[in-house]
Chains A and B, each alone.
Chain A
Amino acid sequence: MIATEKTIETKAAGAAWDVERVREGFPVLNQTVNGKPLVYLDNAASSQVPRIVIERGSKYLREEHSNIHRGVHYLSQRATSAYEGAREKARRFINAREARECIFVRGVTEAVNLVMHGYGRKFVREGDEIVVSEMEHHSNLVPWQMLCEEKGAHLRVIPMDDAGELLLDEFDALLNERTRLVCVGHVSNSLGTVNPVKEIVARSHKLGVPVLVDGAQGAPHLLVDVQDLDCDFYAVSGHKMFAPTGSGILYGKAELLEKMNPFLGGGSMIRTVTFERSTYAAIPDKFEAGTPAIASQIGLGAAIDYLNSLDRAAAHAHEQQLLRYATERISAVEGVRIIGNAREKASVLSFVIEEVHPHDVGTILDREGIAIRAGHHCAQPVMQHFKVPATARASFAFYNKREEVDRLVAGIQKVIEVFS
């Protein structure tokens, strides 16, 4: 079953996924680590960059680099065209109505902080409430705590069950006339859960409450349609969807972005400046002070082109097969427990091994050439829910293959052997 609200349409039904051919496009995958072929299963932390994205960024630096929106000269025009071209690609990628609704940011952390400062500090008052979920990444939790502390507002938390699914009935009970914003992840980075964000948006809008969706793990795995979701903000990190670090998108509905305060002050975000006062530029420039990560954002545009060139339904089906296979094999190993068993999951698999700390798991797997994440995944409340200090997490991209799951399972068996 395909885990999106808007079902990914198959371009060529039943088309096989040629994983070896896809892998050829990712130079970093072709190396050995500790004498063994690299198995990269840390995609939820940061995905790898395909050659065509590397080449696009490199072409920019070799031939087109200049500051944007400033010069009348040739190079500045070219840089500006490429940068704004990437914005239009971003618009199509998430199906925003207008390109000016896509603010370029360094990633989800900056996006959430931008909304906190621009929207939260302007519209949230003492006694108001902000709703987050129990499975939020710290980036969609800590900024809201900071806001609540500053304003005397209250943070309300949508609880989850032991499978790692949000309890929507509890959510309904949290919503009231004091709720100012609902902030929820599309896909949990620690559990893999795909949250019913469209439903959450619909329920919130009944009370007129806007919704921010953290799409860090949504954009790489699902087809995102912000108009279909009807969310008010949607945040994307480029480096988790095959683009360079320092790139990202904050989508916001134009009418909201327009009434928000600016975030960072400086160049590019102004209309007029005198010592008495300044007036601000229109969106998106209002939120893009200073020289942005031009090469990275152009790289994000290239990553979107790359994703569009794939059969994304087949890519998704491949990831889901890997997830199912890994879940089956890992849960069959004695002493291993999978954390997060939601009905709809993206290809993120957290697990713990009895009596072995995840950091030791990570080090031993690394010696086998396998990269996973070990730790709290910037989601300490999730660890507290499941009463574990940390988990080991394997996260799969469409360039991973079945043999790599076998290598992971063999690595887990080695861990158990070392600690037996």
Chain B
Amino acid sequence: MSELSELYQQVILDHNKKPRNFRKLEGANRSAEGFNPLCGDQLSVYMLLEEGVVKDLSFVGTGCAISKASASMMTQALKGKTREEARVLFDEFHRMVTGELDEEAETNHLGRLKIFAGVRDYPARVKCASLSWHTMHAALEGEESATTESLGPDLSGAVVSE
């Protein structure tokens, strides 16, 4: 188990306090709503997608520090990325927070997003970090909403042998 300070790093606390791109994006041509029915968190992601490139990205909503910081840093990371690059980052981020990707050993494009790696030691919080990414993914693929339920049963901390 990592230390608490690895979860609540200064960067995360800063993005929580001053979330970037925290507004409704005028002129967005894609948007989706995300729900985490377990905690009642909800957020909306707005995207301007032109010629296969994420030209602009923003979000609004309520949530914990992990979810707000994750959404905030996601908007920064994806601006200017192609649809394909965004899909790759979505996949890498998801695998990192669920412990399927070792961000230090395997090649990836996560960069500053690696600070969310500590979330995988807190199974109850994985959905907080990934909700905005799932919502973004829904917007990218032209769906209207995403919920953490669609991830299926939460097996991130499941014990299958003792």
CB pair A357–B64 under 8 Å, yes or no, is yes
Contacting residues of chain A (162-202) with chain B, CB-CB under 8 angstroms: none
**Please, how many angstroms separate the alpha-carbon atoms of A376 and B64 in the complex?**
13
Interface status of A380 (Cβ within 8 A of chain B) = yes
CB pair B39–A364 under 8 Å, yes or no, is no
Interface status of A389 (Cβ within 8 A of chain B) = yes
Q: B125: nearest residue on chain A (CB-CB)?
A: A363
Q: Which residues of B contact A380 (CB under 8 A)?
A: 40
Q: Which residues of B contact A419 (CB under 8 A)?
A: 8, 13, 65
Expressed in whole angstroms, the minimum distance between the Cβ of A157 and any Cβ of chain B is 19
Given known A360-B8, A360-B66, A367-B4, contact A390–B125 (CB-CB < 8 A): no
Q: A356: nearest residue on chain B (CB-CB)?
A: B65
Given known A418-B4, A418-B8, contact A376–B13 (CB-CB < 8 A): no
Contacting residues of chain A (348-383) with chain B, CB-CB under 8 angstroms: 355-360, 363-364, 367, 374-376, 380, 383
CB pair A357–B40 under 8 Å, yes or no, is no
Q: A368: nearest residue on chain B (CB-CB)?
A: B4
Please tell me which one of the listed residues B7, B39, B122, B124 contacts residue A390 in the complex, with CB atoms under 8 A apart: B39
CB pair B63–A375 under 8 Å, yes or no, is no
CB pair B64–A375 under 8 Å, yes or no, is no
Q: Which residues of B contact A374 (CB under 8 A)?
A: 39
CB pair B66–A364 under 8 Å, yes or no, is no
Contacting residues of chain B (13-41) with chain A, CB-CB under 8 angstroms: 13, 17, 38-41
Contacting residues of chain A (364-420) with chain B, CB-CB under 8 angstroms: 364, 367, 374-376, 380, 383, 389-390, 418-419
How many residues from B make CB contacts under 8 Å with A? Answer: 20
CB pair B122–A375 under 8 Å, yes or no, is no
Interface status of A34 (Cβ within 8 A of chain B) = yes
Q: Which residues of A contact B39 (CB under 8 A)?
A: 359, 374-376, 390
Q: Which residues of B contact A418 (CB under 8 A)?
A: 4, 8, 13
Expressed in whole angstroms, the minimum distance between the Cβ of B6 and any Cβ of chain A is 11
Given known A360-B8, A363-B122, A364-B4, contact A375–B65 (CB-CB < 8 A): no
Q: B41: nearest residue on chain A (CB-CB)?
A: A389
Q: A414: nearest residue on chain B (CB-CB)?
A: B4
Q: Which residues of B contact A355 (CB under 8 A)?
A: 17
CB pair B128–A359 under 8 Å, yes or no, is yes
Expressed in whole angstroms, the minimum distance between the Cβ of B29 and any Cβ of chain A is 29
Most buried by B among A34, A367, A380: A367
Residues 60-87 of chain B: 1 if any A CB is under 8 Å from the residue's CB, otherwise 0? 0011111010000000000000000000
Q: B39: nearest residue on chain A (CB-CB)?
A: A375
CB pair B40–A375 under 8 Å, yes or no, is yes
Contacting residues of chain B (65-123) with chain A, CB-CB under 8 angstroms: 65-66, 68, 122
Q: Which residues of A contact B1 (CB under 8 A)?
A: 34
Chain A: residues with CB nearer than 8 A to chain B?
34, 355-360, 363-364, 367, 374-376, 380, 383, 389-390, 418-419
Q: Provide 8 A-B residue pairs closer than 8 Å at the C-beta atoms, listed in order of the A residue.
A: A359-B128, A363-B7, A363-B122, A375-B40, A383-B40, A389-B41, A418-B8, A419-B13
Known: A357-B65, A360-B8, A376-B39. 15 other contacts (CB 8 A): A356-B65, A357-B62, A358-B64, A360-B65, A363-B4, A363-B124, A375-B38, A375-B39, A376-B40, A389-B40, A389-B41, A389-B63, A390-B40, A418-B8, A419-B8
